[in-house]
Structure 1
């Protein structure tokens, strides 16, 4: 019987099946199976090794294992990108021969960030190469001219108010053919190469359109081989799905050495760079940037920026969060209003929606604050995501403050000659109403004292959620009892 000329491949995980299925057996996703033309096997048909072949299997000599203590592990110097926030997330800079995948929503600033990095590297004498498959060379030049132009005014930015003239010296290749790109890399021998983006690269030896599962998998594999062989630090720009996950087969994330996510909202100026995978460093670090007219500028002290913008009104508290090894103060706002819908709405931005539902349930059961007939809106200001459990107490205090109309740390009316200092807090809320400790409590407290915030509500000071409400909302004792 002749073998089918087409196969069905899952666009999420790369699972192959001979027929179409509604749900992928590999990852369980629905509607991700697409039909593609089957590729011919590259090698001959291998047979089973003959009996008694010993160290040889199919004619291939066996390898010789080495004990780990006998393996030499030289320290490889990293390439500094010129942006401290990027180096922090990478673990100290780019590693020669590494393969980095950078993902983010369209228009978030991925190309601007990489243009800035290449400009700094080129100015430091590092050989660079920018491969653009989505934009023409003229379009990339316009962006580089914006980066090279000195700003008219500082405007309070933390970064240096100078133009990046070396951004115009970066060599560029506007090409989508993979063979041409690899030949150029082998000829130019850059130390750092950017591929923007991996979904636009096309291998003519394979069937399928650029961006398909087979194309992305083969393109990434070929680029990884070149990067390891020539010690070229390669950065691949990847598209994301509407859910925010990296597009393409899951094998792409397993193939690369580092996976970076550039997060934020296009309507806001702040951007956050995080690492979800890093073979050469920690995955807990985060870098904060601000999008300005001259490009992305590092926010060297994000806590000062966020605390300075705190509203100091009912429904607003300051969360002492941790971004890796760095404490970060961000404002958490809440709005509680009567609802005409059943069930009422629960809208949140910057925190997990299921975590919000848990906090609201604990507030109703153990603090006497029911929101079953009210819409609840929670927002982490600045487009920052607070995914750690230590954000539970900030959400609870913000919702309680908004529901009762009491300014945290104030006199309960929100009136007075001077607005009260913002109340800082951190802690995990348990299902029985207790507050649980979180990591790096001393560093969180030190960061709050550094900016002279008001009372710091923590599990060490308040063992239960009721105690935290009495401390942060002093005029709410009667209602909270």
Structure 2
């Protein structure tokens, strides 16, 4: 009888060690090694690795003999999601999607699978967190828009349809007979022969609505046929169903709860995560199935589990957003098939996620100026958003003043406060300083230094910036302003959003439209001259002389 193999895995980096150690030699984390016993397989249940052939090619090939044909991408049906992926899913790729609990990961993937199913693709949603009934209830909520539109258009045709209950993925319109385009056309033609000219428009419009209803019913029928739900946490059974159905996309929600029965460890442990991830990657590479893995995050916002999980997959996506706001952002931390600079913008509604453009998140520079509020064109991937940074100062304790940041870099805020004191002559040593990005956005780039500094100075002095004002520029430790990248895109976005005055570094080469006044400054001390007195006429403090 073979002995059980005992090893110790690091919960931080996933390193394997033969004996327990207080400190992991690979990553230096203390008390992170966990005992792992690889038990014998259960009779009748072979390990998943036995069923999955991990060989991609049989022999080595010269680079010149490898076919470099372009593999077409598969669009997810969600344009903002495809933007982050680089144009859509690549067949055989593995995507890891992480995010805070309740941020909308499952909602996003369920909407994407529904769109793929509408297009005729077979998709499989394997959930280890929700039952099939719970997923059906979620689908009903996401389908409310479709059902409401269908009922509204068909209200005059059938009272029974008006009183029908809300539809679901399984039986959204199964109780209603399918009306073909020919029937709708015949009904429209018959009505046209018995009505006057003004009513002809109503009948034509009714026929168009009926055609739209028909198309929607056809989509629902395709969705019921192509979207498969599998409530299972056993990885072997999930892979068995995937090989049986051969779906275009397989979603595993989530990797922390699926497990292999031949591993003596709880789901979510380092050993389970590593082996399950390896099997899913092997499944994708050998069958061409697109595998999307949902991952949990820690309280620090990092993906739970070893970093090996991020190294194995092809794409690592992060679903970000503040639960107190409706806006959501999808970012790519890793993408082997596209750029990591793109972001996807969404808005969470009662009916699911709605795609939005950058104008929905932009600040309005035409609003009445307030002390401590400055707009800055900030880059979100390849798109530019007009964000609003705010600052507040309050009397604190000398030597123990607070510096709090929300949506901006806290360490950079502390550096800017030191620059304002040393080179701007602004007394902040006894002031608590709070800085935030309005609307739940995150502004971490150095190009926002000037806007944050002006917001802090305006809050301290009780002064405001002029109407239609925005500022761009990085500030060095000497107080000098440095040029920033992608200035052309920032200027174009600022002009579109109604900015009339834009402050930039003096060394920055710019070309601006006539409607935009460019103000160039070299040092942070010059920026104070741009602040105007508060409309109330009260100035709470004056800067100290250098």
TM-score by length of 1: 0.85
C-alpha distance after superposition, 1:256-292 (max 9, x if no partner): 0000000111121111110000001111111111111
Q: How far apart, in 1, do the equivalents of 2:259 and 2:390 lie?
A: 46
Post-superposition CA distance 1:139-179 (Å, at most 9, x none): 111111111111879xxxxxxxx999577662100001111
1:95 & 1:183 partners in 2: Cα distance?
Answer: 22
Q: Which residue of 2 aligns with 1:32?
A: 32
Q: Are the counterparts in 2 of residues 274 and 285 from structure 1 also a CA contact under 8 Å?
A: yes
**TM superposition shift of 1:35:** 2.5
C-alpha distance in structure 1 between counterparts of 2:304 and 2:355, whole Å: 27
Alpha-carbon distance in structure 1 between the residues aligned to 2:448 and 2:484? 10
Contact 1:469 1:480 in 2 (8 A): no
Alignment-derived partner of residue 369 in structure 1: 426
Among 320, 332, 346, the residue aligned to 1:275: 332
Cα distance in 1 for partners of 2:346, 2:269 equals 32
> The residue matched to 2:463 in structure 1 has which SS?
coil
Shift of 1:65: 4.8
State how far apart, in whole Å, the 2-side matches of 1:243 and 1:478 are. Answer: 39
SS of the counterpart of 1:198? coil
User: What residue number does 1:441 align with?
Assistant: 487
- Does residue 402 in structure 1 map to residue 459 in structure 2? yes
Number of equivalences? 441
Residue 470, structure 1, aligned to residue 465, structure 2: no
Q: Aligned-pair RMSD on alpha carbons?
A: 2.8
> Within the alignment, does 1:295 sit opposite 2:352 as a pair?
yes
Q: For residues 36-435 of structure 1, what are the structure 2 equivalents within 5 Å? A: 36-38=36-38, 64-67=60-63, 69-150=64-145, 170-302=227-359, 305-307=362-364, 312-340=369-397, 342-409=399-466, 420-421=467-468, 423-435=469-481
After superposition, the C-alpha distances for 1:354-413 in whole angstroms (9 at most, x for unaligned) are 11111111111111123211111111122222222212222111111111111111xxxx
In the TM superposition, residue 302 of structure 1 has moved relative to its aligned partner by 3.6
Runs of 4+ in 1 over 4 A off after TM superposition: 2-5, 38-42, 62-65, 162-169, 308-311, 472-478
**C-alpha separation in 2, matches of 1:346 and 1:167:** 52
Partner Cα separation in structure 2 for residue 200 and residue 7 of structure 1: 22
Q: Relative CO higher for 1 or 2, CA cutoff 8 Å, sep ≥ 6?
A: 2
CA contact (8 A) 1:9 1:35 kept: yes
Report if the CA contact (8 A) 1:288-1:302 is conserved: no
CA distance in structure 2 between the partners assigned to 1:431 and 1:211 by the alignment: 45
The whole-number CA distance in structure 1 between the counterparts of 2:344 and 2:26 is: 34
CA distance 1:92–1:465, shift in 2 (3 Å): same
Structure 2 unmatched ranges of 5 or more: 47-57, 150-212, 509-519
Deviation at 1:207, TM superposition (A): 1.6
Shift of 1:336: 1.0
Q: Corresponding residue for 1:17?
A: 17
Is the partner of 2:521 in helix, strand or coil? coil
Residues 195 and 235 in structure 1, CA contact (< 8 A), matched pair in contact too: yes
CA distance in 1 between partners of 2:436 and 2:418 (Å) = 18
TM-aligned CA distance change 1:243 to 1:31, over 3 Å:
farther
Distance in 1 between the 2:403 and 2:416 partners?
12
Gap regions ≥5 residues in structure 1: 43-61, 154-161, 410-419
Residue 334 of structure 1, CA deviation: 1.1
When the two structures are superposed, what TM-score results if normalisation uses the length of structure 2?
Answer: 0.75
Q: CA deviation at 1:310?
A: 6.5
